[in-house]
Amino acid sequence: MTDTPCYDVTGRGPVLLLVPGGAGHPMGLGPLTERLASRFTVVTYDPLGLAHGRLGHPVAEQRVADWSEGARRVLEEVLPEGETASVFGTSSGGIAVLDLLARHPGRLAHVVAHEPPCVTVLPDGAARRAELIEQLDGPGRPPAEGGSATPMGVFLARVLRPFTAYAPALTPPPGRLTLAAGAASRGQLLHRTAEFLAARMGCAFTEFPGGHLGTLDHPVEFADSLAGTLRSSARTSA
């Protein structure tokens, strides 16, 4: 997390905070945010500032609590007094928004966590985490620092291990959390994790278009499904 939170704002309407996956770099999310911006003020958080000039700088091993604290600070900057925000996070961003809800629920209307890789919640979680790390980091790692650094390199070196070790709080505020997974992810580890976690936490579960990268592969359909989920949650809580 950078000292000053980095984020971008587009659109008009109620505030929707987006926390990207990987190392938090919002690359490729333009079509998604453009679609959402017709209905929301979309605030895209960049926790490491990788899209704001810091890619290639040294990055310490990341802590989930730092990402959620940064997200809280962003909300304090953008939210009008007395208003609440919807929050969406995918992958590692999904873990960050789970922590945000646990630590700072006061200004959150509803949180959607899409395929958060907190696989240690599963009965065989330690083994599944080891397999996931091997699958992602086994073939070789792109640089995390210097002129040839990539967001994937930062994710593998500094985010993957601490974030997949995270175990979320199991008593979220009633009615304010939805766990989501991609329809194309059925039968895969992170779909199973999201379903298991939703049942264990007593919260809603839904499927969105595509797989783990549905935000990139099906941005329009994904945005519409996310907006529908948030509308439904607003009606339920009204």
**What does the pLDDT look like over 85-138, one tens digit per residue?**
999 999 999 999 999 999 999 999 999 999 999 999 999 999 999 999 999 998
Among residues 66, 167, 84, the alpha carbon closest in space to that of 118 is found at: 167
How much is the pLDDT for 233? 86
The answer to the question of residue 84 being in a domain is yes
Q: How far apart are CA 226 and CA 25, in angstroms?
A: 20
The answer to the question of residue 1 being in a domain is no
Q: How far apart are CA 40 and CA 218, in angstroms?
A: 19
pLDDT at 223 over 80: yes
The answer to the question of residue 238 being in a domain is no
pLDDT tier for residue 238 given thresholds of 50, 70 and 90: low
The answer to the question of residue 81 being in a domain is yes
Return the SS3 of 57.
coil
How much is the pLDDT for 139? 86
Which whole number is the average pLDDT over 50-56? 97
Among residues 116, 227, 111, the alpha carbon closest in space to that of 176 is found at: 111
Q: Which domain holds residue 158?
A: 6-233
Among residues 204, 203, 210, the alpha carbon closest in space to that of 225 is found at: 210
Q: Residue 221 — φ and ψ, nearest 5°?
A: -65, -40
pLDDT tier for residue 2 given thresholds of 50, 70 and 90: low
Which whole number is the average pLDDT over 42-60? 97
Phi-psi region of 202 (alpha: psi -120 to 50; beta: other; left: phi over 0): left
Which whole number is the average pLDDT over 208-218? 98
Q: What 3 state SS string does 100-114 have?
A: HHHHCHHHEEEEEEE
Distances (CA, A) of 71 to 115, 139, 146, 192: 19, 32, 26, 27
The answer to the question of residue 194 being in a domain is yes
The answer to the question of residue 212 being in a domain is yes
How much is the pLDDT for 236? 74
Q: Residue 116: which CATH number? A: 3.40.50.1820
Number of domains in the chain: 1
- Give this prediction's pTM: 0.96
